[in-house]
């Protein structure tokens, strides 16, 4: 069944039909703005047409409606974000002070994700080199998962499981869509927008397991304590089963289109 939103314009009666999953998200998050709803509905329809939507585990388009709305998972009612030290919020997304602010996801890799079948993606508006970790969790040197988009030396880092197999590449572009994928025991990839920055065939097996604590955003969950706070503006984050390079490229375009249309003038 499809959701229908009807409204009166000065000259006519209009009807906008929304995808049922999009409408459920609007209801959960209390989103009523037509510009935002149309932008998200377009994203959902395109992601479904590309056979990507069903691969999402959690997806936060960071609604410009309010910080409470931005904490809602667009896929379902699971993994609503929480924070005891919330970042600043505007229609452009979340901005951390890089000192104390972070967000809890409730997503535990060892419980909710499948080993070597994961993509994490996010959109950053901050260009400068920064300290800290964009998102992540660490149990030990052999059980961790985090992403850094641009830190000292223009380095991007995909930490997946072990310090011994940390994957660093050169990245001098801080404001972009980033995608980090683990699709096999010897297969990791980092993409920026629609460009592959590199692929690693290094073994990265966890010992004894994937992290058993939740992922934090705008910082890292370090054995239950928040640290490595990252002073960036983030306005999109998701985790899914592993996406191909082509799927990441398609998704990057959809994220850009949503961001351009979700508020007047784009963000």
The predicted-structure confidence for 82-136, as pLDDT tens digits, reads as follows: 999 999 999 999 999 999 999 999 999 999 999 999 999 999 999 999 999 999 9
Q: What digits encode the pLDDT tens for the residues 142-171?
A: 999 999 999 999 999 999 999 999 999 999
Residue carrying structure tokens 């490595």 = 228
The pLDDT, as a whole number, for residue 6 is 43
pTM of the model: 0.94
What CA–CA distance (Å, rounded) separates 255 from 86?
24
Distance CA 120, CA 56 (A): 10
DSSP tag of 174 = -
What's the token pair of residue 82? 């929480």
* Cα distance between residue 175 and residue 161, in whole Å: 26
Each residue's pLDDT tens digit, 6-53:
444 343 334 689 999 999 999 999 999 999 999 999 999 999 999 999
Strand partners, 5: 16
With beta carbons less than 8 A apart as the criterion, state whether 198 and 190 touch.
yes
Structure tokens that stand for 134 in this block:
């964009």
Asked whether the bond before 135 is cis by omega within 30 degrees of 0, the reply is: no
Kindly report the number of other CB atoms within 10 A of residue 172's CB atom.
Answer: 11
pLDDT confidence of residue 151: 97
């Amino acid at each position: 069944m499809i959701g229908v939103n009807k409204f009166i314009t000065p000259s006519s009666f209009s009807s906008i039909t929304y995808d049922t999953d999009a409408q459920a998200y609007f209801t959960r998050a209390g989103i009523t703005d037509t510009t935002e709803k149309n932008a998200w509905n377009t994203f959902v329809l395109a992601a479904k047409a590309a056979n990507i939507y069903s691969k999402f585990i959690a997806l936060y388009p960071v609604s410009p409606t309010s910080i409470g709305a931005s904490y809602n998972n667009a896929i379902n009612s699971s993994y609503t974000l929480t924070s005891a030290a919330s970042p600043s919020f505007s229609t452009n997304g979340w901005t951390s002070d890089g000192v104390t602010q972070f967000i809890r996801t409730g997503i535990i890799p060892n419980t909710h994700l499948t080993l070597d079948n994961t993509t994490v993606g996010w959109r950053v508006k901050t260009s400068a080199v920064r300290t800290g970790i964009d998102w992540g969790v660490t149990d030990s040197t052999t059980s961790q998962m985090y992403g850094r988009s641009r830190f000292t030396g223009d380095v991007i880092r995909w930490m997946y499981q072990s310090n011994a197999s940390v994957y660093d590449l050169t990245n001098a572009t801080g404001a972009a869509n980033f995608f980090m994928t683990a699709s096999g025991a010897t297969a990791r990839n980092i993409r920026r927008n629609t460009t592959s920055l590199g692929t690693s065939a290094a073994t990265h097996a966890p010992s004894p397991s994937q992290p058993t604590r939740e992922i934090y955003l705008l910082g890292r969950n370090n054995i239950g304590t928040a640290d490595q706070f990252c002073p960036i503006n983030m306005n999109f984050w998701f985790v899914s089963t592993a996406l191909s390079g082509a799927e990441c490229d398609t998704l990057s375009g959809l994220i850009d289109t949503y961001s351009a249309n979700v508020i007047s003038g784009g963000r």
